[in-house]
Every structure is written in C-alpha cells, then in structure tokens.
Amino acid sequence: MIRLAGAVPDPSTYPSERMRKVIHDVLRREGADALAYGPPAGYASLREVIATRTTQSGAPVRPDDVLIVAGSQQGLDLIGRLMIGEGDSVLVEAPTYSNALQIWRLYGARVVGVPMDEDGLSPTQFGAALRRVRAKFVYVMPTFQNPTGLSMDEPRRREIMRIAREAEVGVIEDHFDADLRYSGVPVPPLRAYDTAGQVILLGTFSKMLFPGLRVGWIIAPREVRERLLEMKLACDLATSLPAQMALAEFCVRGELDRHLEKVRKLHAGRLRAMLDAIDTYFPENISTTRPQGGMTLWCTLPDGGDALEILEMAEERGLSIAPGVWFFPDGDGRRHFRLSFVGEGEDRIRKGIEILGSVIRTHLARRRAPRRREGETAPFL
Ligand code: PMP
C-alpha cells in the first residue's frame, strides 16, 4: 500500500539509534530517579528547552508558562474538559483536524466551521461567525494547517488576534508542525500577538521527531494553566519522566536541531516530487495547495467530484488517501482530499500520484457520463 493518507512522519526517518544512546546515558546518569513520578507540570529542563524554543520562534515564554502533557492530544482533551460546557459553541477552521473535532464533540460542544481562503482562516468569515455565534473559543492552526497545509502571514495573524480580542473569545493555537518549514520565512505564533492572555498554545514532538514517547506541551496564561494542571493530575498524575528526560537531553545535545535539518531537506524533496507529479499526472481542473512546510496538501475536485469514491477506487489499486469529509464539522468536503507527502519516498510518491491521476480521470469521466437509473437499460446508439 502506498500511504498518502496519514499525517505522520516516515518511521524510517526516526533517529532511533541516537535516541537509544540518549536514553541509555540518561538512565546511567539519573539512575532510579529517572523512574519515579515526575513533577505534575513537567520536568524542569524540558520546560526550559520548550520555553527557549518558543521564545526563539517569536513568542516570549518562561519555563513556568509551560505545562508538559502526554502528547498534544491530551492537551486538547484537557482544554475540552476545562472549557466546554454542554451546549457551548466552538469555532474551528473548515476543514480542521478530525481528532480535535471529536474531542470538542465529546464534551458536548456545538462545532461551527469557519471557511478558509488561500491564506488560512478568513478574518472576514471569522468576524461574521463571531457575530452569529457566541463561541467559547476558536481552534486554529495558523502554520501548515492540518489538513490543508496553508499558513497565515503576519498581517493575517495580527488581524485574527485583533478580532479575537474585540470579541473576547479564547484562541486555541495548535502549533503541531510549525518547525517543519521548507521554504519562506518563519512567522511567529499567534501567541506573539496576544496582548490580553487569550491564547493557549499547544506543541508536540510527534511531528518534528516521532510520536511514540507521547510528549507534548501547553503554554497558557497562569490561571488557565493552573486549572489545566488540576485536570492533568486527575487524569494521569504526570507525564512519563524518563520520556521527558530523554527528550530534554536529546534537545540539549543539539540532536533535535540536527534531526530537523535532515528531515526538512528530505520532506522538501518529497513535497517537490509530489507537486511535480501532480502537475504531470492530475487533470488540470484539480486545484492543489502548495504548502511551505508541514506534512500535507489539499486537493479540490471540480463540481460533482467525490473523494470517497476516489478513495475506494484508489484502495483497490494499492493507494490510500484521506477524504475531505473526515475534516469538516458538518458532513461537507466530498470534493476534497488530503495527501501526505512525508510518509513515502519520492519514487513511491510519484508512482502513487500517477495511479491517483488515472483514478481521478476515470472517476470524473464516469461522473460526466449520463447516469442510468436502476433497472434502466442502456440506450441503443
Ligand atoms: N494536532 C494535530 C493538528 C495533529 O495532526 C495531531 C496528530 N495527528 C495532534 C495534534 C496530536 O498529536 P500528539 O498527541 O501526538 O502530540
């Protein structure tokens, strides 16, 4: 199976040998102390590393602002528990990350999608949605959005924050893959433009490194952080200490930056290979985003196209894609699908896109052909 569906880095890129050495060294240095419960808010050195990296990205943060969690998925869950009451409304980009949608719903939220344009969440649509809906918060991915790969430029970020400030609405900023930039200039997170303490920023090692250690973080204003910490305690007491120690050491040794340098080059090549193959093999009436980073891009079929049908046909030919309906809160999205460009090597990506191009052509030709009702025989021509 050529996997173009999942937004997870290729396991063959995981620096397992370097991590093995770091874990070994940490256990030798810390002994049994590494195997205790960690501090509930997280291991101090790791909080420091994360505060430094976030500050370098343009949003000044102190180690105390950082709460370590078991993956940003746990962060989303804690935020859902804390902030959503039965019947509350939550705004999300349409499309958005499907497992976040699930959490907001789990806690009883009415989820309202806000349309995006080619630069991410549309300020006009955001403002209009806030006038229509009294939302508890907006969940947004300003950098290399999942699923579209789109990013907001700096003026757009300022504008979104200005609107959020005026409406006094919370902003959940999912910064899951912001370190995976392959072109263009880095833009600070929304948190950098937050003057009223409205932003809760989520981060993770899962995309820039690997997901298996299950370590992520929340950066939030003090009051919110303290309440999230109470929930974190109730949930699992603390995030795995040896995992945090290993990650802190991995970062301090410069291994994370070395790894990032490597995967950025690799991913950039894979993205280029995918876009070139799309230009070669897809019909011209398919539009595609051209991300500057991240893991995924987003394709839109002409009217009448149905990505669920394409998925079915593609699977029969050994190819997986993610259909758009997974990512919309309201059952929309049939004309769209998401492709991941990080999970396979360049040759398999080219092969996959060639197959997909032919599947799409067959699908669109069938759609154009006049449909026959059940039981109806083909007319003699
Ligand atoms: N946010 C987004 C947008 C994601 O794609 C993912 C992983 N699929 C997560 C959060 C959760 O990642 P993790 O729990 O591994 O940090």
Q: Is the CB of 216 under 6 A from ligand 1?
A: yes
- The region of weakest confidence among 168-172, 282-286, 306-310, 372-376 is 372-376
Ligand 1 center to residue 203 CA distance, Å?
9
What pLDDT was estimated at residue 25?
98
- Is the CB of residue 176 below 6 angstroms from any atom belonging to ligand 1? yes
* 4, two tokens: 């173009």
pLDDT at 375 over 60: no
Distance 73 CA to ligand 1 centre (A): 6
- Give per-residue pLDDT as tens, 32-71: 999 999 999 999 999 999 999 999 999 999 999 999 999 9
**pLDDT, tens digit, for every residue of 154-201?**
999 999 999 999 999 999 999 999 999 999 999 999 999 999 999 999
Q: Which helix (H) or strand (E) holds 113?
A: strand 110-117
Please, which pLDDT band fits residue 381 given cuts at 50, 70 and 90? Answer: very low
Largest CA distance in the chain: 83
For residue 72, is pLDDT > 50? yes
Residue 227 in 3-state DSSP? helix
Question: pLDDT tens-digit profile of 29-38?
Answer: 999 999 999 9
The residue whose CA is least distant from atom 1 of ligand 1 is 176
Using only C-alpha atoms, the chain has a radius of gyration, in whole angstroms, of 22
Closest approach atom of ligand 1 to CA 211: 15
What percentage of the chain carries pLDDT values higher than 70? 97
Predicted confidence (pLDDT) per residue in 93-102, tens digit? 999 999 999 9
Question: What 3-state DSSP class applies to 72?
Answer: helix
DSSP 341: S
Q: Quick check: CB of 95 below 6 Å from ligand 1?
A: no
Quick check: CB of 174 below 6 Å from ligand 1? Answer: yes
CA angle 13, 260, 148 (to 5 degrees): 85
pLDDT tier at 127, thresholds 50, 70, 90 = very high
Angle (CA) 126-129-135 rounded to 5° is 100
pLDDT at 380: 36
Ligand 1 contacts CB of residue 72 (under 6 A): yes
| Contact call for residues 1 and 311 (beta carbons, < 8 A) | no
In degrees and rounded to multiples of 5, residue 293 shows phi and psi of 180, -165
Contacts of 123 (CB under 8 A, 6+ apart): 156, 159, 160, 163
Report pLDDT digits (tens) over 287-343: 999 999 999 999 999 999 999 999 999 999 999 999 999 999 988 999 999 999 999
The packing angle between helices 255-281 and 16-30, to 10°, is 160
Tell me if 294 sits within 8 A of 184, measured CB to CB: no
Taking the C-alpha atoms of residue 347 and residue 219, their distance in angstroms, rounded to an integer, is 40
The chain-wide mean pLDDT, for the chain, equals 96
Q: Is the Cβ atom of 71 under 6 angstroms away from ligand 1?
A: yes
| Residue 372 pLDDT level (bands cut at 50, 70, 90) | low
> Using 50, 70 and 90 to split pLDDT, how confident is the model at 28?
very high
> Is the peptide bond prior to 147 cis by the omega test (within 30 degrees of 0)?
yes
**What is the structure's pLDDT at 377?**
47
What's the DSSP call for residue 32? G
Cis peptide before 370 (omega within 30 of 0): no
Q: Which atom of ligand 1 is nearest to the CA of 74?
A: 14
What is the pLDDT, as a whole number, of residue 379? 38
pLDDT at position 378: 42
| pTM for the predicted model, two decimal places | 0.95
